Amino acid sequence: MDIVLLGPPGAGKGTQARRLSQTLKIPHVSTGDILREAIGDGKSPLGREAQEYIRRGELVPDGVMVDLVEERLRRKDAAQGVILDGFPRTQAQAEALSTLLKRQGRSVEHVLLLDVDVEELTQRLSGRRVCKGCGAVYHVNFNPTKESGKCDRCGAALIQREDDREEVVRERLKVYERQTQPLIQFYKERSVLHPIQGQGTVEEIFDRLLKIVGRPH
């Protein structure tokens, strides 16, 4: 089963995708995580190319992203489906994804659109903290760690993503409206779009998603 999580920055895509992945036992593919990992490496050409775009809140070019996802989908663990988080983000990416999946006799089965108002998005992004060690995601108010500044899972330090600063967030929200929102219509036409109220507790939203994709037996 191939699932796409769609929604603006801060909508909760990563949080929900991680849970879905555990419950459905299919891999979580976050293009943002893959890019950040490549940047962290310091020497990967992909990381070097992506860094400037991310820092400015702009999208990394489609060609780069499509190659990256193509390679990820070829891996063995992706054979039964993936949960895509942060991809596609443009019409060209959505078309490329359809083509890639079609070659394997697959198609996007559900597009889960997380609907969250701008006020809430801004609060979520400004308080988001991520673990330097394992990538776990927290929020200073909505999902705090037991010990301040320290990951519950691995003990490493928490940091704020550079692109979660206010000026960059404004740009990312604009980029979403301009380049990603058209995908709502794209997937509506293909009858796979499910708009979901993205405000409430993480658990409540997860239940809404499971109602759509179905609980595993």
Binding site for ligand ADP (CB under 6 A): 7, 9-15, 31-32, 35, 53-54, 57-60, 65, 86-87, 89, 93, 124, 127-128, 137-139, 142-143, 163, 172, 201-202, 205
Distance separating the N- and C-terminal Cα atoms of the chain: 14
The yes or no reply on residue 149 touching Zn ion (CB under 5 A) is no
The catalytically annotated residue of 18, 72, 161, 208 is 161
> What are the C-alpha distances in Å from 153 to residues 26, 146, 148?
22, 10, 13
Q: Which does 205 bind (CB under 5 to 8 A by kind): Zn ion, ligand ADP, none?
A: ligand ADP
d(Cα 55, Cα 59) in Å, to the nearest integer?
Answer: 10
The catalytically annotated residue of 89, 106, 124, 129 is 89
Establish whether 128 is a catalytic residue. yes
d(Cα 96, Cα 69) in Å, to the nearest integer?
Answer: 10
d(Cα 195, Cα 112) in Å, to the nearest integer?
Answer: 6
Q: Which does 151 bind (CB under 5 to 8 A by kind): Zn ion, ligand ADP, none?
A: Zn ion
User: Using an 8 Å Cβ cutoff, are 12 and 208 in contact?
Assistant: no
The catalytically annotated residue of 19, 106, 128, 129 is 128
- Specify the residue, 78 or 105, whose C-beta has the smaller distance to ligand ADP: 78
The yes or no reply on residue 131 touching Zn ion (CB under 5 A) is yes
The structure tokens 């108002």 sit at 117
d(Cα 143, Cα 51) in Å, to the nearest integer?
Answer: 28
The yes or no reply on residue 151 touching Zn ion (CB under 5 A) is yes
Q: Taking the complex as a whole, how short is the minimal distance between the CB of residue 106 and ligand ADP, in angstroms?
A: 19
For 12, the token pair is 């909760």
Among 133, 149, 182, 214, indicate the residue that binds Zn ion (CB under 5 A): 133
For 164, the token pair is 């979660």
Give the residues lining the site for Zn ion (CB under 5 A): 131, 133-134, 136, 151, 153-154, 156
- Which residues does the annotation mark as catalytic? 13, 89, 128, 161, 172
